[in-house]
Amino acid sequence: MDSNSPFEKRPALESFDHDEAPGAAEVVESLGAEIEARFAPRDETPLAILARDGTGALLGGLDGASHWRWLYLRRLWVAPAQRGRGLGGRLLEEAEASARARGCVGVYIDTFDASAAAFYERRGFARVGAIADFPPGHERIFLSKPLAAG
C-alpha cells in the first residue's frame, strides 16, 4: 500500500508520565545501538568528587561522566557557607585533572544561573549556546572548555 494512502493503518501511540514505561528501556537500547554504530561507543565512565569537613559533613561536590573524550559535568554544588572560599574552583580543577587522566579533550556543563556561568567563564569556559526562557524567566546556558594536554 502507498505510504501516503489514507487507508494505511497508523501506529498506535501510548503516553506515560513515568520512567518505567513498558518499552522505554528498549528505546534507550535501540537509540544507543544506533548512536554507537554511527559515532563510535560512548565509553562512558561516571565521575563524582566530594568535599567533606573533618566531621564528614558534605561541603560540596560534583558529578558527571566522561564520554567521547569529553567530560560532562552534570551538577556542581557548594554549600552556601563555603561559597567564595575557593572550593568550587578546587572541585573544577580536580575534575579537569580527572578528565585529562581519562584522555578527555574538553569539559562541558550547563547552568540556569548567570552567576554560575560567570564563575565558569572566569575559569576558562566559554558560552557555546543558550535556550531562552528555560526555566521560565531565565535561560539555560551551555559552556565548554578545551583541555590542554598535561
CA atoms of 110 and 143, how far apart (whole Å): 6
- pLDDT, residue 69, reads 96
Q: What is the CATH number of the domain that holds 128?
A: 3.40.630.30
- 25 in a domain, yes or no? no
- 68 in a domain, yes or no? yes
- 120 in a domain, yes or no? yes
135 preceded by a cis bond (ω within 30 of 0)? yes
Q: Which helix (H) or strand (E) holds 141?
A: strand 139-146
Residue 25 grid cell: 528501556
- 7 in a domain, yes or no? no
Digits of tens for pLDDT over the chain (150 positions)? 556 666 789 998 888 887 788 888 898 899 999 999 999 988 899 999 999 999 999 999 999 999 999 999 999 999 999 999 999 999 999 999 999 999 999 999 999 999 999 999 999 999 999 999 999 999 999 999 999 865
- 94 in a domain, yes or no? yes
Count structural domains, the chain: 1
CA angle 52, 53, 58 (to 5 degrees): 40
- pLDDT, residue 38, reads 94
- 19 in a domain, yes or no? no
Locate the DSSP E strands across 24-138: 45-52, 58-67, 70-78, 106-111, 126-132
- 89 in a domain, yes or no? yes
CA atoms of 106 and 120, how far apart (whole Å): 14
- 37 in a domain, yes or no? no
Domain ranges, residue 56: 42-146
Instruction: Say what the pTM is.
Output: 0.83
SS3 assignment, position 101: helix
